[in-house]
């Protein structure tokens, strides 16, 4: 089955082609073409994503990128068996672009259109790596406004173990970066600055580190960073870097502790980490060390697949088709669509 994936949930337009026959034994071999357009340069001027501008930019790029990917694979649209698009969660206007484009192309070709949960795409993206995990595993999803721990038995079989009750880890990185006067996107900028900082100088709170459950909260950390920046940021030339390092260490400490606790509670020895924050090198270093101490293994997406991309949507769509026995016509698709800007992954898996 040849599936075209369309990702337009926020500020990246991602298109990819996935061939489930080629990827039968090694999923990474099924990814035959992909392209990505990032809106970072456009939004940087505003210090964050402007939803209306994001939607308009997706409109400009979704069709040209689709043509480019098909040309890259030397395929005609008629070769496609299905089209997968991000249905949610995300920015409503941005989601509408991908949903409308995907459904319209599917209607024209007479093939199914599959609405994919954005976080399911991230959760499954490590399977596209050279070292894919086997089921079951614990998944730490750290993507944008989401920080969640899931017990994953297989595709579509997810159980929520814990999640953030307010700010997610990605939001804590981005908001702290903004308080430090760093550019957009804030998370990577803060991580880069933290590399030259000392983690011993400033001590920030580790919210809910000892809560006894798998719940996250990072809003209090943001408040503490605000106070620290006001007191210390201009004191000397190293203060900003040291604050950045303190922020990174605080967030990483919580993510590592909760992830290892999730492994202990479930009795599993495989941890998957996915989403934009999974690209953070300090998080990877600390998780690898903590997991090794208990004989566990950690799996990550390839760096190019950590942020939003079409490959994860194409692959998730192919997995959904496989659950239906690879019958592309079993969906009974009417080509009507509804986006879900807010969408629970566990509920989506049961649909």
CA distance 11 to 37: 9
DSSP string for 309-322: -HHHHHHHHHHHHH
Whether omega before 89 lies within 30 degrees of 0, making that bond cis, reads yes
pTM recorded for the entire structure? 0.95
User: Domains of the chain by range and CATH?
Assistant: 2-124+306-350 (3.30.420.40), 135-300 (3.30.420.40)
The pLDDT value given to residue 121: 98
The pLDDT value given to residue 136: 98
The pLDDT value given to residue 235: 79
CA distance 52 to 248: 31
Instruction: Give the residue among 56, 46, 49, 44 at the shortest CA–CA distance from 11.
Output: 49
Question: What are the residue ranges of helices labelled H in 267-328?
Answer: 281-293, 310-323
pLDDT of the chain, 351 residues: tens digit per residue: 999 999 999 999 999 999 999 999 999 999 999 999 999 999 998 889 999 999 999 999 999 999 999 999 999 999 999 999 999 999 999 999 999 999 999 999 999 999 999 999 999 999 999 999 999 999 999 998 999 999 999 999 999 999 999 999 999 999 999 999 998 889 999 999 999 999 999 999 999 999 999 999 999 999 999 999 999 877 788 999 999 999 999 999 999 999 999 999 999 999 999 999 999 999 999 999 999 999 999 999 999 999 999 999 999 999 999 998 765 554 556 788 899 999 999 988 777
Classify the C-alpha dihedral 44-49-50-51 as positive or negative.
positive
Strand partners, 116: 86
Edge-to-edge strand ranges of the sheet holding 297-299: 157-163, 146-154, 137-143, 270-274, 297-299
Helix (H) or strand (E) holding 297: strand 297-299
Instruction: Give the residue among 65, 61, 62 at the shortest CA–CA distance from 104.
Output: 62
CA distance 179 to 226: 6
The pLDDT value given to residue 36: 98
The pLDDT value given to residue 241: 96
The pLDDT value given to residue 236: 84
- Here the tokens at position 200 are 């011993």
């Amino acid at each position: 089955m040849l599936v075209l994936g369309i990702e337009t949930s926020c500020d990246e337009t991602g298109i990819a082609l996935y061939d489930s026959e080629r990827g039968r034994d090694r999923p990474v071999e099924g990814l035959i073409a992909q392209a990505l357009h990032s809106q970072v340069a456009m939004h940087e001027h505003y210090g964050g994503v402007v939803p209306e501008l994001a939607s308009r930019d997706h409109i400009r790029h979704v069709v040209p990128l689709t043509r480019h990917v098909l040309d890259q694979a030397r395929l005609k649209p008629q070769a496609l068996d299905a089209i997968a698009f991000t249905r949610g969660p995300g920015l409503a206007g941005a989601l509408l672009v991908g949903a409308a484009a995907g459904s319209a192309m599917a209607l024209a070709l007479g093939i199914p259109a599959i609405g994919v949960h954005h976080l399911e795409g991230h959760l499954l993206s490590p399977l596209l790596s050279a070292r894919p995990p086997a089921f079951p595993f614990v998944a730490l999803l750290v993507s944008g406004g989401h920080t969640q721990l899931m017990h994953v038995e297989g595709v579509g079989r997810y159980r929520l173990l814990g999640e953030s009750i307010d700010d997610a880890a990605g939001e804590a990185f981005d908001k702290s970066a903004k308080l430090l006067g760093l550019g957009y996107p804030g998370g990577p900028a803060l991580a880069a600055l933290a590399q030259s900082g000392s983690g011993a100088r400033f001590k920030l709170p580790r919210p809910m580190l000892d809560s006894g459950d798998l719940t996250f909260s990072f809003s209090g950390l943001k408040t503490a960073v605000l106070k620290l920046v006001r007191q210390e940021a201009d004191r000397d030339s190293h203060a900003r870097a040291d604050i950045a390092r303190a922020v990174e260490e605080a967030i990483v400490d919580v993510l590592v502790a909760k992830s290892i606790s999730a492994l202990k509670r479930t009795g599993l020895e495989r941890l998957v980490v996915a989403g934009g924050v999974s690209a953070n090198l300090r998080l990877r270093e600390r998780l690898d060390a903590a997991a090794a101490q208990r004989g566990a293994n950690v799996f990550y997406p390839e760096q190019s697949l950590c942020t939003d991309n079409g490959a994860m949507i194409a692959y998730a769509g192919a997995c959904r088709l496989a659950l239906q026995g690879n019958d592309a016509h079993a969906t009974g698709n009417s080509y009507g669509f509804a986006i879900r800007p807010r969408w629970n992954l566990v509920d989506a898996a049961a649909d």
